[in-house]
Amino acid sequence: MTGQPLFGKVALIGIGLIGSSIARALRNVPLAGTVVAADRSEAVIARVRELAIADDATTDMAAAVTDADLVIACVPVGAMGAVAEAVGPHLKPGAIVSDVGSTKGSIVAQMAPHMPAGVHLIPAHPVAGTEHSGPDSGFPELFHGRWCILTPVPGTDPEAVERLAAFWQGLGSKTEVMAPDHHDLVLAITSHVPHLIAYNIVGTASDLEKVTESEVIKFSAGGFRDFTRIAASDPTMWRDVFLHNKEAVLEVLGRFTEDLIALQRNIRWGQGDQLFDLFTRTRAIRRSIIDQRQDTADPDFGRNRK
């Protein structure tokens, strides 16, 4: 890009993994004239200043969004409504307000009532992350080659959607547009229920009376190790995800339970052909994900940044 940046002022609300990664990425690409970081934690803001990843850092959300052309809420899903209520009166006409949450129907319901006329609410979900959190966990390459899904509601200005898509593309993402409810079903399958399973299997292992914690850690094979990576994700964020996408999660979880019972029957009755067919199909899906560069064949999925 040349000339003027895409957005004059970008305000980031919440400086964890995603917020700090956006801030760092904006240091490398001419998408924002000024980047302001806001967080309710004084300690986080102090660390942001030490890291020098934003032009300004404050605990005052109203001041952060004043005159901002783009505001991105990078807080847990359950906190989105409070953020929208706090910043709504201070948004300028024409501003784009977005987020990075992994549920979208709930975001629309929480944030839309607080958006003044002339402000464009365009929820978004960068499908990228690690199990780490906090301002030190971000890195500018987090979004490279990853999808960012935009979920505008009907009637949203197409030009505003295009500008937000260009922003994420400038950070290295590929973009897709979906309806909020369709996004929530897709992510329930590809992310939310897999996380729930990971939390459950790690919890089950820790509860087994005949297996000590030291044995679980000492003899962790690749499968369990990768489950623990997922299960180490931020508990506040994932608690909110499940509570705010419960309809889609419960629908997919019901189907998963039925399939699990079928697997149990296959094993009990020695139905090896059915097991082999399933494992062949799932192996092909893994290969497709790698072929589309949505992951790597490296240990820990190539995501071990620490």
> Is residue 281 pLDDT above 80, yes or no?
yes
Total residues belonging to the chain: 306
Residue 70 has what pLDDT? 98
Mean pLDDT, to the nearest integer, of 17-36?
96
Average pLDDT over residues 78-104: 97
Residue spans in the chain of domains classed CATH 1.10.3660.10: 182-269
- Residues 7-178, CATH architecture: 3-Layer(aba) Sandwich (3.40)
* DSSP symbols for 49-100: HHHT-SSEEES-HHHHHTT-SEEEE-S-GGGHHHHHHHHGGGPPTT-EEEE-
Give the pLDDT confidence of 133-181 residue by residue, as tens digits.
Answer: 899 999 999 999 999 999 999 999 999 999 999 999 999 999 999 999 9
Residue 255 has pLDDT above 60, yes or no: yes
Question: Residue 99, Cα to own-chain centre: how many angstroms?
Answer: 9
Mean pLDDT of the residues in the chain: 89
Q: Is 49 left (phi over 0), alpha (psi -120 to 50) or beta?
A: alpha
- d(CA 164, CA 100) in angstroms, rounded, equals 12
How wide is the angle at C-alpha 45 spanned by C-alphas 144 and 129, nearest 5°?
25
Q: What angle do CA 249, 16, 100 make, to 5 degrees?
A: 45
pLDDT of residue 209: 59
- Residue 143's identity, in one-letter code, is F
174 bridge partner residues: 147
Q: Residue 235's pLDDT is what? A: 87
Amino acid 228: pLDDT: 82
What are the residue ranges of CATH 3.40.50.720 in the chain? 7-178
With beta carbons less than 8 A apart as the criterion, state whether 134 and 44 touch: yes
Q: Given this model, what pLDDT does residue 297 score? A: 44
With a pLDDT cut of 70, the percent of the chain lying above it is 90
Helix (H) or strand (E) holding 284: helix 272-291
Give residue 251's pLDDT. Answer: 92
Give residue-wise pLDDT tens across range 190-224.
888 988 998 888 888 777 756 666 677 677 666 78
pLDDT band at 301 (very low <50, low <70, confident <90, very high): very low
DSSP, res 191? I
The CATH number fitting domain 182-269, selected from 3.60.40.10, 1.10.340.30, 1.10.3660.10, 3.30.43.10: 1.10.3660.10
DSSP class of residue 150 equals E
Task: Using a pLDDT cut of 90, give the percent of the chain over it.
Answer: 71
Q: Tell me the per-residue pLDDT of 238-254, one tens digit each, with 9 for 90 and over.
A: 899 999 999 999 999 99
Contact 278, 263 (CB under 8 A): yes
**Is the whole-model pTM more than 0.85?**
no
Burial class (CB in 10 A: 0-12, 13-18, 19+), 288: exposed
Residue 122 near residue 97 (C-beta atoms within 8 A): yes
pLDDT value, residue 306: 41
pLDDT tens digits, one per residue of 51-69: 999 999 999 999 999 999 9
User: Which of these, 255, 242, 235, lies nearest to 106 by C-alpha position?
Assistant: 242
